[in-house]
Amino acid sequence: MTDGSGFIAAWVAGFACGFALRRHRIESDKGQPDHTAEFTENLGELLAAISLLVFGAVLLGPALEHLSWRIILYAVLSLTVVRLLPVALSLAGSGLRLPTVAYIGWFGPRGLASVVLALLVVEEHVPGVELLGRVVAITVGLSVLLHGVSAVYLAERYGRWHEKASATSRDLREGSPVLDTPVRGRLGRPDQTET
């Protein structure tokens, strides 16, 4: 009715819901564990799985009917060079070693973001949107297949590398402990507790 963005509306609704839940928790459940993050993580995983199921059922089949070598070539490049290079550049100077950078690059940002971004383009009625939809569908389908097939093997291989590297190197960045993010009070600093 207002010709607004559904994605922005969903983000604002999520922000308002999170704010209301945190406020309710602060006022009524002091001392009780907060399960909001666990709930949102599980809900996010469920919705992502449903989105990919619908994607596979509705978009992938028609895209396979119009498959060409150019679409396959771009999909392969998108899953390798187009994704791995920016991840490697963004991690330059982080102190992470090559196996970690490669692992993050391969298993990092994946299909659902591509589907969401493609939907934004579809809403704008960009010329060539049918070809773009096919390319995204094949890329995401190939991503689901390749990442699914390689997940166990590469995770075990990375785990073995990490164990070996941790045992032989004390300055391994990947072995540094990760600090928990402090929960913020109403308007205080993160390390302040409410009284």
pTM exceeds cut of 0.75? no
Rounded to whole angstroms, the Cα distance separating 176 from 173 reads 5
User: Which single residue is written with the structure tokens 């993580």?
Assistant: 41
Q: Would you say 154 and 106 are in contact if contact means Cβ atoms under 8 Å apart?
A: yes
CB burial readout 35-45, b (16+ within 10 A) else e = eeeeeeeeeee
Is 100 in contact with 176 (CB distance < 8 Å)?
Answer: no
From first to last of its 195 residues, the chain has per-residue pLDDT tens of 666 666 677 778 877 877 777 666 655 555 566 666 677 778 878 887 887 787 777 778 888 888 899 999 999 998 889 889 999 999 999 889 999 999 999 987 666 677 777 777 777 778 888 888 888 888 888 888 898 899 999 999 999 999 999 888 878 888 777 666 555 544 444 444 444
Joined together, the tokens standing for residue 182 give: 């402090």
- CA distance linking residue 55 with residue 141, whole number of Å: 9
- pLDDT score for 192: 46
Assigned token pair, 85: 């290079």
* Residue 90, pLDDT score: 92
Burial class (CB in 10 A: 0-12, 13-18, 19+), 154: middle
Domain boundaries, the chain: 1-30, 55-170
Q: Map tokens 């602060």 to a residue.
A: 26
